[in-house]
Amino acid sequence: MSGWFPCHDSGTSISQNYVCNGRYECDSYEDEKPCDRSPTNIREDESYAISNLDLYEREYHVFVLQTNSSYGFQIKFQHVFLNCCGMRVQIGTGTDPFDDRSVVKAIEDDTNYVDDVFVRTSHMWLVMAGGKYSNVGHVDIIVTAILVSAGSEKPPSYSAATGGQVHKTPKPNRCIDTMGHVRCIIFVWNPIG
């Protein structure tokens, strides 16, 4: 059927107009799979912020990030609130968010999550999906490119003098809105490493 996209999970089809629109119509997200996902490059010690992202019903956001080959990523969850029904945040290695084998962290449904995750590869992806119903979730995440030394899962240790961080010079973060547009600049202090 020309002009229609098949949802294999349900056996239904949707209009091609709904493919890659940032909202999943197929329950397995397959209508968002064929989209262009060019990676955003993050230089060493630079951060990328996903700030004040509200997850509404069936929204689907994918971010693919890359850094140089000796670097990986520290993902700081400032705030993740998923209140119901199929909402999820996933992090994976590589560039294919549909490769279930690459998932390193999955946060789903009814949770209020704050923690750090470290990814030891030069490419990673983040997926944020709203639930099937009209509940709203919220995400604030900062991703920083960090040097990955042999045998180390974490960046160099910070001084305990100021609650675990020593501040040096501010580095700008890029904030994005739900359509992927740069919306603001915030500053986060980089730790001395």
Question: What CATH number is given to the structural domain containing 30?
Answer: 4.10.400
166: left (phi over 0), alpha (psi -120 to 50) or beta: beta
Q: Are residues 57 and 7 in the same domain?
A: no
Parent domain of 44: 37-191
Identify whether the C-beta of residue 154 lies closer than 8 Å to the C-beta of residue 28.
no
Q: Are residues 91 and 165 in the same domain?
A: yes
Q: Are residues 81 and 126 in the same domain?
A: yes
Q: What is the pLDDT of residue 9?
A: 82
The CATH number of whichever domain residue 108 belongs to comes to: 2.60.120.290
Q: What is the pLDDT of residue 73?
A: 96
Q: What is the pLDDT of residue 169?
A: 31
Report residue 112's pLDDT band, with 50, 70 and 90 as the boundaries: confident
Lowest average pLDDT, out of 53-57, 83-87, 99-103, 125-129, goes to 83-87
Q: Are residues 17 and 92 in the same domain?
A: no
Q: Are residues 14 and 101 in the same domain?
A: no
Q: What is the pLDDT of residue 23?
A: 94
Give the global pTM.
Answer: 0.74
Q: Are residues 56 and 94 in the same domain?
A: yes
Q: Are residues 100 and 141 in the same domain?
A: yes
Q: What is the pLDDT of residue 172?
A: 42
Q: What is the pLDDT of residue 155?
A: 43
The residue behind tokens 């949802």 is: 7
Integer angstrom CA distances of residue 23 from 4, 6, 61, 69, 80: 16, 15, 8, 33, 20
Q: What is the pLDDT of residue 148?
A: 85
Q: Are residues 176 and 81 in the same domain?
A: yes
Q: Are residues 45 and 75 in the same domain?
A: yes
Q: Are residues 120 and 173 in the same domain?
A: yes
Identify whether the C-beta of residue 171 lies closer than 8 Å to the C-beta of residue 188.
yes
Q: Are residues 64 and 97 in the same domain?
A: yes
3-state SS, the chain, equals: CCCEEEECCCCEEEEHHHCCCCECCCCCCHHHCCCCCCCEECCCCCEEEEEEEEECCCEEEEEEEECCCCEEEEEEEEEEEECCCCCEEEEEECCCCCCHHHEEEEEECCEEECCEEEECCCEEEEEEECCCCCCCEEEEEEEEEEECCCCCCCCCCCCHHHCCCCEEEEEEEEEECCCCCEEEEEEEEEECC
Number of domains present in the structure of the chain: 2
pLDDT value at 189 more than 50: no
Q: Are residues 113 and 31 in the same domain?
A: no
pLDDT tens-digit readout, 46-94: 999 998 889 999 999 999 999 999 999 999 998 888 888 889 999 999 9
Report residue 111's pLDDT band, with 50, 70 and 90 as the boundaries: confident
pLDDT tens-digit readout, 137-185: 899 999 999 998 744 444 433 322 222 232 223 344 444 444 444 443 3
Q: What angle do CA 125, 71, 73 make, to 5 degrees?
A: 40
Q: What is the pLDDT of residue 66?
A: 96
